[in-house]
Amino acid sequence: DSGVTQTPKHLITATGQRVTLRCSPRSGDLSVYWYQQSLDQGLQFLIQYYNGEERAKGNILERFSAQQFPDLHSELNLSSLELGDSALYFCASGSGGDTGELFFGEGSRLTVL
C-alpha cells in the first residue's frame, strides 16, 4: 500500500460528459502529480501541484484542469470527454526532496463510450 488513495477506481461515462477524479496523497507529502496512461502506453505527465500551488505542467489538454486543496488532496477535472480520453489516470505524491521518489495510487480507470 503506497498510502496514496484514488477514487473512483473505475468510471464509465459518455462522450461530452465531465468527470472528477480525486486523490489523497501520502501523509506529509506536499507534492501531487497526475499522469495519464493509455492502453499499452507509457505514463504521460499532466500536471504537478506543490502545497496548493501549480508547480509544473505537462501535456495537459485545455479540457482538463486540476487543483490541490488546503488539506492537500487533489482533483483532476476532465470535461467534454472524447473516446481518446479513455485511460488509466494515476496520481502520485512525493515529499519534494532531492531523491524524488514518487508514490503512486492504484489509478482511476476511465472508459468513455
Which residues of this protein are in contact with other proteins, per CB under 8 A? Answer: 2, 4, 33, 41-43, 45, 48, 55-58, 88, 90, 92, 98-102, 104-107, 109
**Nearer to other proteins by C-beta: 85 or 108?**
108
Q: How far is CA 5 from CA 15, 23, 55, 79, in A?
A: 26, 6, 21, 22
- CB nearer to other proteins: give 43 or 79: 43
CB of 61 to other proteins, least distance (A): 16
Question: Long-range contacts for 45-48 (Cβ within 8 Å, ≥24 apart)?
Answer: 46/76, 47/76
Q: How far is the CB of 81 from other proteins (least distance, A)?
A: 21
Q: Shortest distance, CB of residue 58 to other proteins, whole angstroms?
A: 6
User: Cα–Cα distance between 29 and 95 in angstroms, integer?
Assistant: 4
Element (H, E) at 37: strand 31-37
